[in-house]
Structures are given as C-alpha cells and as structure tokens.
Amino acid sequence: MPRYLIERFVPHANELTSADLKAIAEQGLLVQKNLAGQVQWIQSTFTNDKMVCLYVADDELALRAHARHSGLPIHTISEVTAIIGPQWLP
C-alpha cells in the first residue's frame, strides 16, 4: 500500500496535553479498526499549529473517510515517493 503524509492545521497544537494526545490517538485507532485494513497510522508529529501524520493507506479516499469519522481534519495529502535517512549511508 502507498504511504501518505497528511497535514492537519491545529491551532496551538503545541499546547495539547498528554491526555489530549492520548484521546486523539485512541479516536484515530478506533476509526482505523473500523476501516478494516484500508488505513494504518504510522506516526504523528506536532509543531506550534500543525499535526503531520504518516499513514499507509489504500488511497486518498480511505484517508478522507478516516478523517471524516475521526473528526481530524485533513488540509493536505501527499503521497510519499521515497524515504531516506542517515542509516542508508556507508
């Protein structure tokens, strides 16, 4: 399945508490379970006003269904074309 980066604009995301983050994760996982393998959340990172998430998904429609059911808005979806890191260098 393809990988996607999703940007979600969340004002004051840097002020979310541990309880807030846990609730977001639990809601996302509950919806993921109901979508029966169409979407898999890998990880999310937060900045001052943004949440960037890495997913594996059947397609963008599955990601939009996940967003709609979880209440987490999507502002942009980008398909990942390559992943590199320092571990790949000699």
**What are the sequence ranges of the domains in the chain?**
3-82
Token pair belonging to 22: 């846990």
**pLDDT tens-digit map of 42-71:** 999 998 999 999 999 999 999 999 999 888
Short-list 36, 23, 38, 28, CA closest to 68: 28
Q: What is the pTM of this model?
A: 0.84
pLDDT score for 72: 86
Which CATH number does the domain 3-82 belong to among 3.30.70.3090, 1.10.10.10, 3.40.50.720, 3.90.180.10?
3.30.70.3090
Res. 4: pLDDT tops 90? yes
* Residue range 28-47, pLDDT digits in tens: 888 888 887 899 999 999 98
Quick: pLDDT tens for 10-20. 888 889 899 98
